[in-house]
Amino acid sequence: MTNAIEIRNLLKKYPRFLLGPVDLTVPAGAIYGLIGPNGAGKTTALDLILGLGNNDGGEIRVLGKDHRTEAVAIKQQTAYVSPELNFGLWGKVGSAIRFVRGFFPDWDEAYCTRLQKDFHLSPGDRIATLSFGAKTKLSLLLALSRRPKVLILDEPTTGLDAVSKQQVFTELLKTVENGDRTVLISSHGLGDIERFADHVGIIKQGRVMLEGRTDEIVDRFRLAEFFMPNGGRPGIIKGFTPLRQDADRWRGLVDQKQGAVEALQAAGGQQLTLTPLTLEDLFVALVKEEE
């Protein structure tokens, strides 16, 4: 199987928001980062993948299965982690583990025990008194111990310190290292996504505007600075997004894949300099362009 998740022409309509049409492809064995500003539709897309709500159009396939007609089979092989999940009803960590373990024949008890040690969680710990970060670790432990084929994470590092984040992403890398498990993660931690996700999708205003290998997307764009003498303007150039003008000096985002650099030079741009971007730089530039 080439892809773990395939979304085609997905639509979800709300009174004040439209998700889609969305096309998104998560390769099998990848860590895929879905990023976007607040309200862009990330959580809505994850909910629909998980079968939480009905889409108004399009198709979602997880592990080759249709998310509507084969929802039970998908849920057996998919795990979800979010800061919104609350296991406090079970009182103690050990009780939560025993409850969740009973639903999954493939539960890896040795792995669960090791994660308890690594995450500093004891069976007797009261869930109500755990820190926010520790509760997130418990949610991850319960999901990872199932050894799911697809792990979907919505802001999983909220409340975690730098050491804990490193620990969590190390576990995620181990999860996908044999190539038969996949992680889809939605996060505002763009530095973490750039370091650990090998694929990325950028969503804004309900649509996926870019997706692909993280290194290829970051390498595709540059921050361009140049001069337009005598009050000239570069005009509308495919692949060029102006960000700032100060007299004759211009700054903008260029998509090298669309030949924007050559087009700027042809339009009269002088002393052109190109600066590489981080994923966060690229994201901020695209969001500013939206505003």
Mean pLDDT of the chain: 89
Using pLDDT thresholds of 50, 70 and 90, give the confidence band for residue 65: very high
Average pLDDT over residues 207-229: 92
Using pLDDT thresholds of 50, 70 and 90, give the confidence band for residue 84: confident
Average pLDDT over residues 250-275: 90
| Res 158 pLDDT > 80 | no
The CATH number of 220-290 is 3.30.70
Topology (CATH) of 3-77+148-205: Rossmann fold (3.40.50)
Judge if the upstream peptide bond of residue 242 is cis by omega within 30 degrees of 0: no
Percentage above 90 pLDDT, the chain: 47
Average pLDDT over residues 149-174: 85
What is the reported pLDDT for 290?
Answer: 44
Average pLDDT over residues 214-218: 93
Contact status, residue 92 vs residue 129, Cβ threshold 8 Å: no
* The residue type at 196: F
For the chain, what are the domain ranges?
3-77+148-205, 89-146, 220-290
| Res 150 pLDDT > 50 | yes
Using pLDDT thresholds of 50, 70 and 90, give the confidence band for residue 289: low
| Res 272 pLDDT > 80 | yes
| Res 194 pLDDT > 70 | yes
